[in-house]
């Protein structure tokens, strides 16, 4: 039975799917943060069922007709509704492009591969991962092929499109080539300069967990996190989950090093503020979702890297850190803390990388995952190619695969096409922060007083409140005057790490 107002009927259905997906989001958070171990099968069954329910709603037999009839009447829709309809179609394409058995097969393959990966990483034994990773790669390629056929793009771009709608490798190639031409030279100069300056004084712990937790809450609140609509908890791998009205961030504490948990909290707070700032009237519709992983990562990196490693922020944070842990002396002076927070050093591990070397980790992964998908690189040759790339890009070779090609869960998880969004997010963060500084008088002065309200207001207007009304580049162009590029990022790194 087809409704007389197909667009209204679609809104109703997508609101319902949103409710199911938001339920899943809370259950996923619970699983990663607080669920007792013994409940994992039970929870997997719940989540698979809810995914199935939402999928059935999406691929209901009358959806093509509903979408088609709504699109015929598009001229009568306002900008939000027209964009919403476009996003509905986009979601439907991604869901309906795949035969159900392919999705299920990949879900099973991912579970098996993730289990094998935990063992393989523990034992630094890449060979043991080959059979299951090969399955995941094959099935992911088939998914990419199915979507590529419908979207009219390459296999890689079809996969990328799941994380960054409209993202295209032709554009990434250009941006990454510029980074690859720029970063190694910059890195050498920064290392030279930092080596001349000598090591920063270490911060002596231990740092009691409760004091860390309080400091993290205080900082998240300062950035604008609203605990009336969210929580901060602990999990093995920090993440942002939940829903826009119920954002849940996690961190993990290390008694020997408070900086990591704190910076992790500020990073996740950036993600959380994006979710919390999505357009209130549309957040249960496709157009009210966050735009994609590039803007999402831009919001976490804008907070963590652009704002909270600035010397202005350290001015604000240093006395609070000293107070939280009852510390003092030269190591806790602003100058020394700033050196700690802006230290650059090539390393094997992506998640521990500073903002200068991080993009090189991504350039490597982007190159390798495209070659794997295209069949130009055999899985068995991955470790060698990885180590060659590390040598070329960062000048170091991992001693074993555990700290090499086995370090990330993304490929075992079938998330090919995800990696580039980290660095594209870093570029967008630099570009947005520069634009915010231009638009808001004395933005850094406010941050130096712990006042994030001017920054948050600008982000609410120019990023968060846009939801998915336009594409990433259109949002960036309206906010910053230009589509995504490397100029602001380069300028940021030079001004922070090679100040005149």
Comparing CB distances to its own copies, the nearer of 52 and 184 is 52
Q: Which of 140, 147, 144, 145 is nearest to 113 (CA)?
A: 140
Among 3, 9, 32, 50, binds its own copies (CB under 8 A): 50
CA 146 from centre of chain: 25
* Shortest Å, Cβ 101 to its own copies: 17
Among 3, 43, 446, 448, binds its own copies (CB under 8 A): 43
Quick check: is 268 catalytic? yes
Is residue 171 at the binding interface for its own copies, with CB under 8 A as the rule?
no
Is residue 245 at the binding interface for its own copies, with CB under 8 A as the rule?
yes
Binding range to its own copies, per CB under 8 A, among 2-10, 19-27, 412-420, 486-494 = 19-27
* Shortest Å, Cβ 104 to its own copies: 15
Binding range to its own copies, per CB under 8 A, among 244-252, 256-264, 291-299, 461-469 = 244-252
Among 5, 49, 255, 323, binds its own copies (CB under 8 A): 49
Is residue 39 at the binding interface for its own copies, with CB under 8 A as the rule?
yes
Q: Among 162, 164, 268, 297, which one carries the catalytic annotation?
A: 268
- Output the CA torsion 188→194→199→204 (10° steps): -100
Q: State the number of CA atoms in the 13 A half-sphere of 400 facing the CB.
A: 9
Residues 6+ apart with CB under 8 A from 457: none
Comparing CB distances to its own copies, the nearer of 48 and 498 is 48
Helices of type H across 73-208: 79-96, 100-122, 130-151, 155-163, 169-197
- Asked whether the beta carbons of 393 and 360 are under 8 A apart, the reply is yes
- 247 phi, psi to nearest 5 deg: -80, 130
Say whether 496 sits in a helix, a strand or coil.
Answer: helix
Helix axes 100-122, 130-151, angle to 10 degrees: 140
What CA–CA distance (Å, rounded) separates 315 from 332? 11
Q: Which of 6, 208, 120 is nearest to 401 (CA)?
A: 120
Is residue 42 at the binding interface for its own copies, with CB under 8 A as the rule?
yes
How do 240-243 and 230-234 pair as beta strands?
A: unpaired
* Shortest Å, Cβ 266 to its own copies: 20
Q: Which of 300, 203, 220 is nearest to 257 (CA)?
A: 203
Residues recorded for the chain:
500
* Shortest Å, Cβ 27 to its own copies: 6
* Shortest Å, Cβ 47 to its own copies: 8
Comparing CB distances to its own copies, the nearer of 245 and 254 is 245
Among 23, 93, 112, 351, binds its own copies (CB under 8 A): 23
* Shortest Å, Cβ 21 to its own copies: 9
Q: Which of residues 261-300 bind its own copies (CB under 8 A)?
A: 284
Q: Which long-range contacts (CB under 8 A, 24 or more apart) does 168-177 make?
A: 169/370, 171/484, 172/366, 172/420, 172/424, 175/424, 175/427, 175/484, 175/485, 175/486, 176/359, 176/362, 176/363, 176/366, 176/420, 176/423
Helices of type H across 201-357: 209-223, 258-276, 293-301, 311-325, 334-341
* Shortest Å, Cβ 44 to its own copies: 10
Is residue 246 at the binding interface for its own copies, with CB under 8 A as the rule?
yes
Among 20, 103, 130, 474, binds its own copies (CB under 8 A): 20
Site string for its own copies, 211-240 (x = CB under 8 A): ---------------xxxxxx---------
Comparing CB distances to its own copies, the nearer of 47 and 186 is 47
Is residue 37 at the binding interface for its own copies, with CB under 8 A as the rule?
yes
* Shortest Å, Cβ 245 to its own copies: 4
Comparing CB distances to its own copies, the nearer of 16 and 410 is 16
Q: Which of residues 322-351 bind its own copies (CB under 8 A)?
A: none
Is residue 35 at the binding interface for its own copies, with CB under 8 A as the rule?
yes
Say whether 247 sits in a helix, a strand or coil.
Answer: strand
Supply the residues annotated as catalytic: 268
Which parts of this chain interact with its own copies (CB under 8 A)?
16, 19-20, 22-24, 26-27, 30, 34-39, 41-43, 45-50, 52-53, 226-231, 243-246, 284
């Amino acid at each position: 039975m087809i409704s007389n107002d197909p667009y209204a009927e679609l809104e109703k259905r997508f609101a319902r799917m949103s409710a199911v997906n938001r339920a899943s989001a809370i259950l996923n958070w619970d699983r990663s943060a607080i669920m007792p171990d013994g409940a994992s099968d039970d929870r997997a069954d719940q989540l698979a069922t809810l995914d199935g329910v939402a999928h059935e709603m999406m691929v209901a037999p009358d959806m093509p007709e509903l979408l088609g009839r709504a699109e015929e009447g598009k001229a009568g829709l306002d900008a939000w509704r027209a964009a919403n309809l476009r996003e509905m179609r986009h979601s439907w394409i991604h869901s309906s492009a795949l035969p159900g058995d392919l999705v299920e097969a990949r879900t099973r393959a991912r579970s098996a591969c993730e289990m094998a990966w935990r063992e393989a990483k523990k034992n630094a034994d890449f060979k043991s991962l080959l059979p299951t990773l090969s399955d995941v790669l094959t099935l992911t390629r088939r998914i990419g092929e199915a979507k590529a056929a419908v979207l009219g793009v390459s296999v890689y771009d079809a996969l990328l499109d799941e994380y960054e709608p409209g993202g295209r490798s032709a554009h990434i190639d250009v941006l990454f080539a510029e980074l690859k031409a720029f970063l190694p030279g910059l890195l050498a100069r920064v290392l030279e300069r930092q080596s001349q300056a000598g090591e920063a004084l270490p911060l002596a712990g231990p740092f009691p967990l409760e004091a860390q937790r309080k400091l993290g809450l205080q900082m998240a609140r300062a950035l604008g996190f609203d605990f009336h609509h969210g929580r901060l908890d602990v999990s093995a791998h920090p993440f942002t989950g939940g829903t826009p009205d119920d954002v849940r961030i996690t961190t993990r504490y290390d008694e020997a090093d408070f900086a990591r948990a704190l910076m992790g909290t500020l990073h996740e707070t950036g993600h959380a503020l994006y979710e919390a700032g999505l357009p209130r009237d549309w957040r249960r519709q496709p157009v009210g979702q966050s735009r994609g992983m590039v803007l999402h990562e831009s919001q976490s990196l804008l907070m963590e890297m652009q704002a909270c490693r600035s010397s202005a922020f350290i001015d604000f944070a240093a006395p609070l850190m000293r107070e939280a842990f009852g510390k003092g002396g030269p190591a806790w002076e602003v100058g020394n803390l700033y050196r700690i927070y802006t230290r650059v050093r090539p390393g094997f591990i992506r998640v521990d990388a500073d903002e200068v070397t991080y993009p090189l980790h991504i350039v490597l992964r982007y190159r390798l995952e495209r070659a794997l998908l295209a069949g130009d690189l055999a899985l068995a040759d991955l470790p060698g190619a990885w180590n060659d790339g590390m040598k070329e890009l960062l000048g170091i070779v991992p001693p074993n695969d555990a700290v090499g090609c086995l370090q990330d869960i993304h490929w075992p998880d079938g998330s090919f096409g995800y990696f580039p969004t980290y660095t594209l997010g870093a570029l967008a963060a630099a570009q947005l922060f520069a634009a915010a500084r231009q638009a808001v008088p004395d933005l850094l002065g406010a941050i130096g007083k712990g006042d994030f309200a001017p920054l948050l207001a600008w982000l609410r207007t120019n990023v968060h409140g846009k939801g998915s009304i336009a594409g990433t580049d259109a949002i960036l162009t309206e906010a910053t005057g230009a589509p995504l590029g490397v100029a602001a990022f380069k300028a940021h790194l030079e001004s922070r790490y090679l100040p005149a």
